[in-house]
Amino acid sequence: MVESSSGPSEAPPVVHQAVDPSPRENLLGLPRSQLASKLESLVDRPYRARQIYEALYARGISGFDEMTDLPAELRRRLVEAFRIEPPAEVRGTESADGTRKVLLRLADGATVEAVDIPDRSRRTLCLSSQAGCALACAFCVTGFWGAGRNLTAGEIVGQVLALRRGETPPFEGLNLVFMGMGEPLHNLPALRDAIEILAERISWRRITVSTAGVVPGIVELATWPKRPNLAISLHAPDDERRSRLMPINRTHPLDELLAALADYPLERGRRLTVEYLMIRDFNDALGDAEALSRRLRGLVAKVNLIPINADPVLGERMVPPDDATVTAFQNRLRDLGWIATVRRRRGDDVSGACGQLRSPDKQPRGFRRSNLSF
């Protein structure tokens, strides 16, 4: 079992922003109005900005020379002032189940991983929002490598373009989940710009943002006129165990988190997703299912059970329950009136499953001893 620890609540992490090494601004990640403003002094007619925007996101072009519907002189001026630079693929690794994990290098040399998950006629892209993560959750390999900077909106949208390179239109038929590296709600400005671009071609109902429970971010997200699906990593029905898994719980404990979720506006037919990681002999008893049900009472939510994906850096005790235990837990929740699903394991043989993404360009820091020990 994970051992207990104590300590004061932690302040929100200080996260560095991207430092662009190029004097030419990257046009990727600028919503329509911002792009039009940037191009105002260069274009001779307003519709030119629309042409450039469509070339970026409807056609997925990778260079100004591909914008053959623009005058040659305008293309030359664009090359002098701007660039189009999605993340560069360093390595792609394909799982036996068809899942593809991709290591991407950003303009300043930082790296992130993203995952392309095929599922019959659909594809789901698991995207990163930070180049690392400061939250140090005990079950997540990303945190073992430590904090990294926020991604820009262009680097977020650029992951989709990089994974879909050569496919036109690049955003068709996709589901997007922000469940990769980093805490999305610690990077809300860039996330909002990226989703504004992506949601022009992908329904808001097919975009999901997952949070470890950053209450101020949930409150801010609730004010958006349109909102993606919201998933919350809960993982334990009580503060004592949740704090051992997730240090953020000492800053935003369950009562505060659940109050914010109760106030979160949901459109007709939509539910919150409560993600519950299952760890053998830690939070997998039928009594835990009953305690979880009591905690969630009053929420419009479904529960997604996630047997933990083991990894050498997590230690030998962080292993999933057997299938019978998972099924019994799921059935108990259903008996109590909840929609309860079990997340299929995808890409775990290439370390591309939930909680396994890394920052291989950084030295591992390990997990904070003040949070847990094995």
140 is catalytic: no
Alpha helices (runs of H) in 199-343, residue ranges in sequence order: 215-221, 239-245, 254-262, 286-296, 323-335
Q: What is the pLDDT of residues 81-101, one digit of tens each?
A: 999 999 999 988 888 888 999
Confidence of residue 309 (pLDDT cuts 50, 70, 90): confident
Rounded to whole angstroms, the Cα distance separating 115 from 222 reads 27
Kindly state the average pLDDT of the residues 320-341: 98
Which pLDDT score, from 0 to 100, does residue 371 have? 41
Residue given tokens 């990593």 in the structure block: 233
Q: What is the pLDDT of residues 157-206, one digit of tens each?
A: 999 999 988 777 777 789 999 999 999 999 999 999 999 999 999 999 99
Kindly state the average pLDDT of the residues 221-238: 97
Residue 139 tokens, joined: 């079950």
Whether 354 contacts 342, CB under 8 Å = no
Which pLDDT score, from 0 to 100, does residue 17 have? 58
DSSP codes of every residue in 185-204? GGSHHHHHHHHHHHTTTS-G
Catalytic one of 133, 137, 140, 354: 354
Is residue 103 pLDDT above 70, yes or no? yes
Q: What is the pLDDT of residues 251-264, one digit of tens each?
A: 999 999 999 999 99
Catalytic one of 40, 80, 113, 220: 113
Which pLDDT score, from 0 to 100, does residue 167 have? 76
Kindly state the average pLDDT of the residues 104-116: 93
Domains in the chain (CATH in brackets) are 25-83 (1.10.150.530), 88-350 (3.20.20.70)
Residue 140 tokens, joined: 């997540």
Instruction: Report the share of the chain in percent with pLDDT over 70.
Output: 87
Is residue 13 pLDDT above 60, yes or no? no
Instruction: Report the share of the chain in percent with pLDDT over 90.
Output: 69
354 is catalytic: yes
Whether 124 contacts 100, CB under 8 Å = no
